[in-house]
Amino acid sequence: AQSVSQHNHHVILSEAASLELGCNYSYGGTVNLFWYVQYPGQHLQLLLKYFSGDPLVKGIKGFEAEFIKSKFSFNLRKPSVQWSDTAEYFCAVNARGSTLGRLYFGRGTQLTVWP
Amino acid sequence: DAMVIQNPRYQVTQFGKPVTLSCSQTLNHNVMYWYQQKSSQAPKLLFHYYDKDFNNEADTPDNFQSRRPNTSFCFLDIRSPGLGDAAMYLCATSRDAIDRGLTDTQYFGPGTRLTVL
C-alpha cells in the first residue's frame, strides 16, 4: 500500500521566516502530487499540484514545491511566511494507474505563524 | 460562490441511530468522493462515484453506504453509527479523468463533523 509521510506535525515560525514542510511518499511508479491547505474553519483547498514537466511548481500565495523523484519527496516552501499562513497543510499523492481518484493524504502539518 | 456544499456542518447522533450526511455541488463534476478524517489523522477515502459508477474502498466498513441520485447530490449513510465513527466527513468532487490513471484536482466541501453519543 502507498503511504505519505509528513514528518513535521506542528511547525511554529515568526513572520518573515522561511518555511519548508517535508513530504515523502512510498510508491515506485509515476505519481501526481498535491499540497492542500486548510485555514481555520475553512475547507481544504488546493495550494499547488504537480502532474508532469518542471519539477519546481509554483502555487498560490507565494508557495512553491519541488518534486525530487530520486528522493520520493515533494517539499513545500515559502521564503517569507505571514501570519495569514497559519493553517494545516496536507500533502497528497495519486499513483497513476491506480484506482481512479485514489488520493493518499499525509496526516498534515499544523503551521502557526506568530506576528 | 460555494461550489461543494455539505449539510449539516455539525451532526450529533446516538449510538446505533442511522444518520445521513449530504453533499451537493454546483460544479457539474463527474466524480464525487467521501472521505473520513479522524482527529490528527489523514483524510481517508471511503468511496467515490464516477458518474453513477460506485467504487468502494476495500477497507470501508459495510456500515457505510452511499447514494448519488443525480450529478449534483451525493449522500453518505451510516446505518448504525458507533463511537469509532465520530469524525469529520469530507465530500470532494473532480471534473473528470482523461484516462483512468490521471486524477484531476479535487475540490472539497467544508465537511460535516459527526458526534456519536
Count of other CB atoms within 10 angstroms of residue A10: 10
- How many Cβ pairs within 8 Å bridge chains A and B? 64
User: Cα separation of B37 and B53, whole Å?
Assistant: 24
Do the Cβ atoms of A97 and B43 come within 8 Å? no
Quote the Cα angle for B75-B78-B80, to 5°: 160
What pLDDT is attached to residue B102?
A: 46
Please list every residue in chain B whose beta carbon sits closer than 8 Å to the beta carbon of residue A104. Answer: 42
DSSP A106: P
Q: For B111, which residue in chain A has the nearest alpha carbon?
A: A43
What pLDDT is attached to residue B57?
A: 87
Burial of A52 (0-12, 13-18, 19+ CB in 10 A): exposed
Q: What is the pLDDT of residues A19-30, one digit of tens each?
A: 999 999 998 788
Say yes or no to pLDDT of B101 above 60. Answer: no
Do the Cβ atoms of A101 and B33 come within 8 Å? yes
Q: For B110, which residue in chain A has the nearest alpha carbon?
A: A43
Share of chain B above pLDDT 70, in %: 91
Q: What is the pLDDT of residues A68-86, one digit of tens each?
A: 999 999 999 999 999 999 9
Q: What is the pLDDT of residues B7-64, one digit of tens each?
A: 999 999 999 999 999 999 999 998 899 999 998 888 999 998 988 888 888 889 999 9
Number of helices and strands (H, E) in chain B?
0, 11
